[in-house]
Amino acid sequence: MAEDYILVMEDIVAGYEGHKVLRGVTIKVRRGERVVVMGPSGSGKSTLLKTAVLLVKPWSGRIVLDGEEITRKGVDLRKVRAKTGFVFQSYNLFPHMTVLENIVLPQVIVKKVSREKAVEKAHQVLREVGLEGVENKYPLQLSGGQQQRVAIARALAMEPKIFFLDEPTSALDPELKEEVLNTLEKIAREGIAMLIVTHELDFAEDVADRIVFMENGVVVEEGDPHKVLYNPEKERTREFLRSIRRRRLAAPQASQE
Amino acid sequence: MGVFDFLVAYLPFIAQGSTVTLQLTLFSFALGFVTAMPLVAANLFGVLPARLLSRSYVEVVRGTPLLVQLFLIYFGLPSIGIKFDAMTASILALGLNSAAYQAEIFRSAIKGIPESQFLAAESLGFTKLQTFRYVVMPQAVRIALPALVNEFVTLIKESALASIIGIVEITRRADYVAAYTFRAFEAYLAAAIIYFVLCYFFSYGARYIEAKTRIPGYKGG
Ligand SMILES: Nc1ncnc2c1ncn2[C@@H]1O[C@H](COP(=O)(O)OP(=O)(O)OP(=O)(O)O)[C@@H](O)[C@H]1O
Ligand SMILES: [Mg+2]
């Protein structure tokens, strides 16, 4: 039933200028479902997320977003972007705008919301991510964790139907990860669909309805979080999880993944 | 009359040319700015023909003398029926010339904006134009500010060429004084002093603006 799915990606092949990264990936996300994607560096996780919102154009395959095929010719990209929210590893806030303006401007110029309504919404989403009182600060005056929460708020304010998060905490110090993960858990409980790339195992276990393990541009294994995290079928998945757990034990400060 | 007395006597007369010099500079800088915008947009985001056109413009303008460009506009265009007064011709020549340099300044400033900024704007649904207007330009202007000030100061100095087609600015006034007093050295020394003061004033003022417009938390420029 296509209608049950907010996102269906079928047999996606994609890459960059002759360099193939995704080699036939199929991934489906139900409405309200939270899917976590894991996999070694370079396996194509970021490319997968970018392809889902056409920030990277697939070479072949089919993508259906909210019941509408977006891989056909002449698709309205703005409609795609209106339904999707994207949070990047490096926050990507606009450094020359205040926090408030970062959240208000996209609503005003993309969704054509009145400025007044947009400001109201901005306050609401900032409250949601636990960041009141920083409205007039500039992004670079905030901690990494705060910046990432502003990025989350900015995406939330656009009221997307599905949220894409690409390693939202991996650029953060361990003590700052927690605040962002808590925020995301809270948002997850509100029932918005999410496709999240993360290597935070505890978070994945708490939040995910399903875990997808990718390697070398294909899905190697997917299924129930407990099953994939504690009793994976494939040796590669097992190895990968072992390496993450080892790294976590060996270097609790490590934040580069 | 010693050099000092000469300066006291004639410097004020020559300095009065500053108004015209600054008019020339301001108008041509502004013309350069508004012309540079479509040039940069075409160069970076345009379709191939627009890109080629923009690049050719920059190459040709930078590869020919400003004086020749001025003569083309003032003496050349009337032969095909387009006639400008000396002031307009000077502003056009200086401005269209500056456009090429400002386009280059902005192009490299925009190149300095991380790819992630474009991705963020795109992911939020900004059109290319909105990205340019709200994300790229405000950051590019700040990055480009030192080079733009440099360009402005260059224009102050280059506007001296307008004296050749009869604009009575600083250099032209120095010409008059030199012809009248037969003391060319002192006359042009006075002009040099005035140019230097102007340039210094604007460079210094720019540092103030830079500090004012600095993005809080931003490292460096
Ligand atoms: N913009 C780009 N241009 C060219 N090649 C790219 C680009 N982005 C990624 N790649 C390449 O595509 C491959 C997959 O990259 P991708 O970022 O999707 O992997 P990833 O699974 O997200 O890795 P990581 O865990 O390091 O973030 C890599 O070989 C990478 O070098
Ligand atoms: Mg990645």
What is the full per-residue pLDDT of chain A (257 aa) written as tens digits? 556 899 999 999 999 998 999 999 999 999 999 999 999 999 999 999 999 999 999 999 999 999 999 999 889 998 999 999 999 999 899 999 999 999 999 999 999 999 999 999 999 999 999 999 999 999 999 999 999 999 999 999 999 999 999 999 988 888 888 888 988 988 888 889 999 999 999 999 989 999 999 999 999 999 999 999 999 999 999 999 999 888 877 655 544 44
Predicted model pTM: 0.83
Domain coverage including residue A15: 1-83+195-252
Contacts A–B by Cβ distance under 8 A = 68
- Closest C-alpha among B128, B133, B135, B129 to residue B114: B135
Angle CA B173–B30–B142, to nearest 5: 120
For ligand 2, the distance from its centroid to the CA atom of residue A171, given in whole angstroms, is: 11
- Side-chain half-sphere exposure of B189, counting CA atoms within 13 A: 10
CB atoms B217 and A138 under 8 Å:
yes
Tell me the ipTM for this assembly. Answer: 0.90
Position A208 in a domain: yes
Q: Give the pLDDT score at A176.
A: 85
Q: Which of A134, A125, A112 has its CA nearest to residue A159?
A: A125
H-helix or E-strand containing A80? helix A77-83
How far does residue B173's CA lie from ligand 2's centre (Å)?
65
Domain boundaries, chain B: 3-213
Return d(Cα B53, Cα B58) in angstroms, integer. 9
- The CATH number linked to A217 is 3.40.50.300
Residues 93-132 of chain B with CB under 8 A from chain A are: 116-117, 119-127, 130
For B188-204, the DSSP string reads HHHHHHHHHHHHHHHHH
For ligand 2, the distance from its centroid to the CA atom of residue A23, given in whole angstroms, is 16
Examine residue A110 and state whether it is found in any structural domain, yes or no.
no
Residue A158 maps to a domain = no
Query: Residue B219's pLDDT is what?
Result: 58
The pLDDT tens digits for B16-63 are: 999 999 999 999 999 999 999 999 989 988 899 999 999 999 999 999
Residues from chain A that touch B218, judged by Cβ atoms under 8 A, are: 95, 140
CATH fold of B3-213 reads MetI-like fold (1.10.3720)
Does the residue A143 lie in any domain? no
Whether A55 sits inside 8 A of B139 (CB atoms) is no
A140: chain B residues, CB-CB within 8 Å: 215-218
CA A154–ligand 1 middle distance (angstroms): 25
Structure tokens given for B163: 């004296």
Angle between helices B18-45 and B86-111 (to 10 degrees): 40
A90 within domain boundaries: no
B123, B139, B142 member nearest A86 (Cβ) = B123
- Span B149-168, average pLDDT: 96
Q: What pLDDT is stored for residue A257 in this prediction?
A: 41
Tokens of A210: 């399903």
Q: Into how many domains does chain A fold? A: 1
Put simply, whether A54 touches B (Cβ < 8 Å) is: no
- With a Cβ cut-off of 6 Å, ligand 1 is lined by A 16, 19, 21, 39, 41-47
A204 in a structural domain: yes
Q: What is the reported pLDDT for A253? A: 52
Q: Is A140 left (phi over 0), alpha (psi -120 to 50) or beta?
A: alpha
Check CB contact of A86 with chain B, cutoff 8 Å. yes
